[in-house]
Homo-oligomer: A and B are copies of this chain.
Amino acid sequence: MYYDPVETMDRAALESLQAERLRQTIEIAKRSPFYAERLKGLEPGDIKSPANITSLPFTTKDDLRNQYPHGLLARPLDDFVRLHASSGTTGTPVAVFYTQKDLDTWADLMARSMYCCGCRKSDVLQNTSGYGLFTGGLGIHYGSERLGMLTIPAGAGNTKRQIKMILDHQVTVLHIIPSFALYFAQQVREAGYDPKDMPWRIALIGAEPHTEQARAKIEQLMHIKAYNSYGLSEMNGPGVAFECVHQKGMHLWEDAYIAEVINPETGEHVAEGEVGELVMTTLTREGMPIIRYRTRDLTRFIPGECECGRTHRRIDRIAGRADDMMILKGVNIYPMQIEQCLMAMPEVGQNYLIELVREGVSDQMRVKVEIKDEYFVEDMRALQGLQKRIAKNLCSEILVTPRVELCQSESIPKAQGKAVRVVDLRGKE
């Protein structure tokens, strides 16, 4: 069951659609003052396949700031009906403009996204997100109505009233930010209800970075299935990539976007499956197309096909920002690589800490790793063996051998909501 036949289009047809839409996008983009200059001399006809996108220049957040407010608009201001903007009263904001057609396209992508994780017309969705300039509120709202769900625009706050509405209207889908979900589960219990008895079945928990462990906790405490998603206002808002019911990465809608993963230092594509900076191009936006946008978000394409049958590739959960990249002995290392490597070992517990230290003239990485109680034995030789295996696994992933320290469970302070923890002590110890 799919919302749109395009979701299962075969790869060759999908890529030919991407090439065609990229040519259109270049043509439209060149009507804006910014891209008229930036893409000078570039002919859409030069694009034969989506791979040719590497011949186009990047667009950065600074470009968007410098062009504020109207530099990227490819149509007269009169044609636009919506504006979203980044928050903040200081500094130059980033503004994104939408025509009515752009809003329709976005609502359809959003509806498809929610359908993908199991939402149906017969569901009742309560949107506990704030509305306004933030794209999360209105994005989910329009998509939910488009899918035909009964949509309750509850907005943020007022937990008691939220609970009453959920019960009165038998809410089956919640849009809720991860950090609020855990608090909310507790409030439901304090109000005298067992989350098991709540009518909900699906939580949409994008919008905020969170770990796989946080998701598991939300699912357990709320007795709900929680689905991750990805979006950013420069690419409309939510609905860029969404998990299907298999919860193994987020399908990125490749008929609407071309996604690339690059080495943020060199700008070159990384090998398939490797972590790097996500770069995004809009393919269906008529008002304000954006080409090769440097999101600064770190992720990777998940290799292989998904059981659900959708052909659109999946990205992994966002594990920090390109700005989080560490350089150690000339090697680029992302905290996510270390997290993935550690979490794949059954002996490793819930928490870890990465410390960068200077020893003499040389930089070193220390990784403190919590070990599950059942593996934290008195046998010194067994522990040393485990320590060596962790160091070796990490080295094969990051090409640097870190010093590994084994710790008892719950001995490393927990950091709420943050996916990775790195402490750079170089020059500070």
Nearest Cβ on chain B to A287's Cβ, whole angstroms: 11
**A73-87 interface code vs B (CB 8 A; 1 in, 0 out):** 000011011111101
Chain B residues in 8 Å Cβ range of A145: 81-82, 100, 103
Asked if A132 is at the interface of the complex by the 8 Å CB criterion, the answer is yes
**A106-123 interface code vs B (CB 8 A; 1 in, 0 out):** 000000000000000110
Nearest Cβ on chain B to A75's Cβ, whole angstroms: 12
**A304-329 interface code vs B (CB 8 A; 1 in, 0 out):** 00000000000000000000000000
Q: Which of B87, B97, B133, B148 is A153 in contact with, Cβ under 8 Å?
A: B133
Binding-face segment, A160-168, A247-255, A333-341:
A160-168
Whether the Cβ atoms of B153 and A131 lie closer than 8 Å is yes
Number of chain A interface residues as a range:
35 or more
Whether the Cβ atoms of B77 and A150 lie closer than 8 Å is yes
Whether the Cβ atoms of B169 and A154 lie closer than 8 Å is no
Chain B residues in 8 Å Cβ range of A100: 145, 148
Chain B residues in 8 Å Cβ range of A155: 130-133
Whether the Cβ atoms of A89 and B164 lie closer than 8 Å is yes
Task: Count the copies.
Answer: 2
Chain B residues in 8 Å Cβ range of A161: 87-89
Asked if A239 is at the interface of the complex by the 8 Å CB criterion, the answer is no
Whether the Cβ atoms of B160 and A89 lie closer than 8 Å is yes
**A135-160 interface code vs B (CB 8 A; 1 in, 0 out):** 00110010011001111111100101
A89–B13 alpha-carbon span in the complex (Å): 53
Whether the Cβ atoms of A131 and B137 lie closer than 8 Å is yes
Nearest Cβ on chain B to A355's Cβ, whole angstroms: 39
Whether the Cβ atoms of A151 and B81 lie closer than 8 Å is yes
Nearest CB to that of A159 among chain B residues? B89
Q: Which of B83, B122, B149, B158 is A152 in contact with, Cβ under 8 Å?
A: B83
Whether the Cβ atoms of A78 and B153 lie closer than 8 Å is no
Asked if A50 is at the interface of the complex by the 8 Å CB criterion, the answer is no
Whether the Cβ atoms of A131 and B133 lie closer than 8 Å is no
6 new A-B contacts, CB < 8 A, other than A100-B148, A131-B155, A133-B154, are: A78-B122, A82-B145, A130-B131, A131-B138, A133-B153, A138-B141
